């Protein structure tokens, strides 16, 4: 190849870069993708990843051991593997016709937005501070985003409970949005929304919008007597999201469940990929749901003890001015100043302990979130921070 051919190739590849930007949907060019805990600290190097203590993505500590059979790996899997659906049906108490298995709860979020929101016409509603993927999926699809912030996240009014729904604010959006995302227990706040508030929101939107109750942390919630999944038998417009990523310690598997009326499941089934659950995923998930419920329950109990210990310890630290109550496997707390927030975060980071900085979220100035890892990991964290 001659030198001039070489340089013209380079020139055309530079132009190609512009070409891609020109061809792309303009709003995606400058879009920032979800800053997952893994993306923020990806090293690509497994040894380095293993030397870090990951307390930033609400994963469960400890490793799993599963064997998979590969006999039928030459065949496409069922669209919805029956063994998996019936295992989840047993677990959640709903018939299989009300369940859709997805590639994590995240795929459920995306499917709901794509199924109900017309691009560049319809909007979703979120109640920040909340889980980031609702807005990211909406942006990806070209759906609008309306925010009705949670009330009293900053605890300015000590007579009022924190992190509640703004029902008056929600009422003003009736007729203007197609999908409302509620997260309970909330991420990153950690609190359960009162059942009465969820019911009131459903009533407000029962003729005009889908209400999604994201229950990714359902298993960690202390009060489960009113299982939100039962709501879907009463209301056609309610969808509940669940996952195996948190309490079942299977974040790497990518398996979640959308619970909804038959009409909703039928609709989502038109939008989802033809083989969303790979055979090994279905096999491991079904085994876990059938055989590991007691293990999961023990994990939840252990996490709850460690969470209460950590929360109590945090309340006594001079750099911490508020600890949010949690019904999940993490604790959110507010530092006394931005400088203190940075000192806590950076001391841990320098020692390879990763926690999540939530201070960029609406109403969460100076807030950090710690996932409940193993007892040893949390002891190490506390020892380090004792030196501050």
Ligand X SMILES: *Cc1c(COP(=O)(O)O)cnc(C)c1O
Residues near ligand X, by CB under 6 A: 58, 104-106, 131, 183, 187, 214, 216, 243, 245, 251, 256
Nearer CB in complex with ligand X: 37/384: 37
Q: Is the dihedral of CA 87, 93, 95, 100 positive or negative?
A: negative
Least Å distance, CB 119 to ligand X, is 22
Tokens 């799993």, residue located:
64
Nearer CB in complex with ligand X: 276/340: 276
Least Å distance, CB 244 to ligand X, is 7
Nearer CB in complex with ligand X: 112/202: 112
123: closest CA among 97, 142, 96? 142
d(CA 328, CA 188): 9
Per-position b or e across 228-258, b if 16+ CB within 10 A of its CB? bbebbeebebbbbbbbbbbbbbbbebbbbbb
Of all residues in this chain, which one has the CB nearest to ligand X in the complex? 104
Nearer CB in complex with ligand X: 198/385: 198
Residue 207: both structure tokens together:
């003729």
Question: How many Cα atoms are found within 13 Å in the side-chain-facing hemisphere of 316?
Answer: 8
| Residue 317 and residue 334 in contact, taking contact as beta carbons nearer than 8 Å | no
| Residue 272 and residue 100 in contact, taking contact as beta carbons nearer than 8 Å | yes
Question: How many Cα atoms are found within 13 Å in the side-chain-facing hemisphere of 99?
Answer: 25
Least Å distance, CB 300 to ligand X, is 15
Nearer CB in complex with ligand X: 61/380: 61
Least Å distance, CB 329 to ligand X, is 10
Residue 229: both structure tokens together:
């999944």
Least Å distance, CB 217 to ligand X, is 7
Residue 385: both structure tokens together:
């921070």
Nearer CB in complex with ligand X: 104/129: 104
Least Å distance, CB 245 to ligand X, is 3
For residue 129, say if its preceding peptide bond is cis, omega within 30 degrees of 0. yes
Nearer CB in complex with ligand X: 241/264: 241
Residue 316, CA distances (Å) to 158, 235, 239, 319, 338 in order: 19, 44, 40, 9, 18
Least Å distance, CB 386 to ligand X, is 29
The angle subtended at Cα 278 by Cα 277 and Cα 282, nearest 5°, is 70
Least Å distance, CB 20 to ligand X, is 28
Residue 69, CA distances (Å) to 66, 72, 280, 284 in order: 10, 8, 8, 10
Nearer CB in complex with ligand X: 368/385: 368
């Amino acid at each position: 190849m001659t030198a001039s051919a070489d340089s013209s190739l380079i020139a055309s590849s530079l132009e190609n870069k512009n070409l891609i930007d020109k061809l792309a949907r303009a709003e995606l060019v400058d879009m920032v993708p979800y800053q997952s805990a893994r993306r923020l600290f990806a090293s690509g190097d497994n040894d380095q990843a293993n030397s870090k203590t990951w307390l930033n993505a609400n994963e469960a500590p400890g490793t799993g051991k599963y064997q998979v059979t590969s006999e039928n790996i030459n065949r496409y899997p069922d669209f919805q593997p029956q063994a998996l659906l019936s295992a989840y049906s047993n677990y959640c108490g709903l018939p299989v016709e009300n369940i859709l298995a997805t590639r994590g709860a995240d795929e459920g979020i995306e499917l709901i937005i794509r199924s109900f929101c017309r691009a560049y016409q319809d909007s979703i509603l979120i109640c920040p501070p909340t889980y980031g993927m609702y807005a990211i999926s909406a942006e990806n699809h070209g759906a609008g985003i309306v925010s009705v912030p949670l009330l009293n996240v900053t605890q300015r009014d000590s007579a009022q409970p924190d992190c509640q729904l703004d029902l008056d604010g929600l009422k003003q959006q009736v007729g203007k949005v197609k999908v409302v995302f509620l997260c309970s227990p909330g991420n990153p706040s950690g609190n359960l929304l009162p059942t009465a508030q969820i019911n009131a929101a459903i009533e407000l939107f029962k003729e005009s919008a889908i209400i999604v109750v994201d229950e990714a942390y359902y298993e960690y919630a202390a009060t489960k007597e009113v299982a939100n999944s039962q709501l879907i038998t009463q209301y056609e417009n309610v969808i509940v999201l669940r996952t195996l990523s948190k309490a079942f310690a299977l974040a790497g598997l990518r398996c979640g469940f959308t619970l909804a009326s038959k009409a909703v499941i039928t609709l989502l089934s038109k939008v989802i990929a033809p083989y969303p659950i790979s055979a090994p995923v279905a096999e491991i998930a079904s085994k876990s749901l059938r055989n590991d419920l007691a293990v999961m329950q023990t994990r939840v109990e252990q996490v709850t003890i460690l969470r209460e210990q950590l929360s109590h310890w945090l309340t006594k630290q001079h750099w911490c001015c508020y600890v949010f109550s949690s019904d999940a496997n993490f604790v959110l707390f507010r530092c006394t100043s931005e400088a203190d927030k940075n000192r806590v975060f950076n001391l841990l980071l320098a020692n390879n302990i990763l926690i999540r900085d939530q201070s960029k979220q609406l109403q969460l100035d100076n807030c950090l979130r710690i996932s409940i890892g193993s007892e040893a990991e949390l002891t190490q964290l506390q020892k380090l921070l004792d030196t501050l």
